[in-house]
Amino acid sequence: MSLTKPSRADGPIPGANYTSDTRNWPWHRPPDITSTDEALEHVMEVLTETDAGMRYMSLIEAGTPITTITDMVVTLGVGRGKFSIDFAILIAGPVTRMLEIMAKSYKIEYDLGIDEDSDFTTSVVYKKALALNNPPEEEPEPDIELDVEEEQGGFMSAVSEEEQSSMLGYDVEEIEEDE
């Protein structure tokens, strides 16, 4: 058995993807629905007239956020070739609202899946903690004032003019000759 370098003939033929059959998967074909109103009507029918709606309500009752279920619903629509990814993004808000209304009508407590409070520590907190040589607290203090006037100038203002010139490909001697 000899180890030889593969030749170009062993690779795919350039442009073969343009002549191959693209009807193998539903998302390779043009979508069945080409209007956002029709897409919303289709999703509403799926949620209200099939068992899928009750399964989604069970998931909401089990604590699954509505935004996660919305993602599942629109992804299934795209995967089945009903509508395009663009439509999925456009109808995600109304689908979330539909699921919320359904949960309210069945008196199911739900988690919308949108966090109101930020759970992260900002860089301002880290900078102040490092300046004081203290680790950052678990929750950031809301009364932190930003010192905007400290940093004036653009991104490259921290770099000398010579470094800027060398980054841009200019020769330092050329600049000195022009001046």
Stronger pLDDT, 83 or 125, i.e. the higher one: 83
Stronger pLDDT, 163 or 147, i.e. the higher one: 163
Averaged pLDDT, 148-172: 64
Q: Using CA of residue 13, residue 15, residue 20, residue 22, what is the dihedral sign?
A: positive
Q: What is the pLDDT of residue 134?
A: 58
Q: What is the pLDDT of residue 14?
A: 79
pLDDT-derived band of residue 40, with 50, 70 and 90 as boundaries? very high
Highest-pLDDT range among 58-62, 140-144, 156-160:
58-62
Q: What is the pLDDT of residue 139?
A: 57
Stronger pLDDT, 102 or 147, i.e. the higher one: 102
- Would you list the domain boundaries of the chain? 23-105
Averaged pLDDT, 73-101: 93
Stronger pLDDT, 83 or 28, i.e. the higher one: 83
The CA distances from residue 133 to 124, 136, 140, 151, 156, in Å, are 14, 9, 16, 22, 28
Averaged pLDDT, 60-64: 94
* Closest listed residue to residue 135, CA positions, set 126, 145, 146, 143: 126
Q: Does residue 27 contact residue 81 with C-beta atoms inside 8 Å?
A: yes
Of 28-32, 43-47, 164-168, the poorest mean pLDDT is in: 164-168
Q: What is the pLDDT of residue 161?
A: 76
pLDDT-derived band of residue 167, with 50, 70 and 90 as boundaries? low
Helix locations, the chain, DSSP H: 16-19, 36-49, 51-61, 66-79, 85-105, 123-131, 161-167, 172-178
Instruction: Tell the burial category of 178 from Cβ atoms under 10 Å away from its Cβ (0-12, 13-18, 19+).
Output: exposed
Q: For helices 66-79 and 36-49, what crossing angle results, to 10°?
A: 110
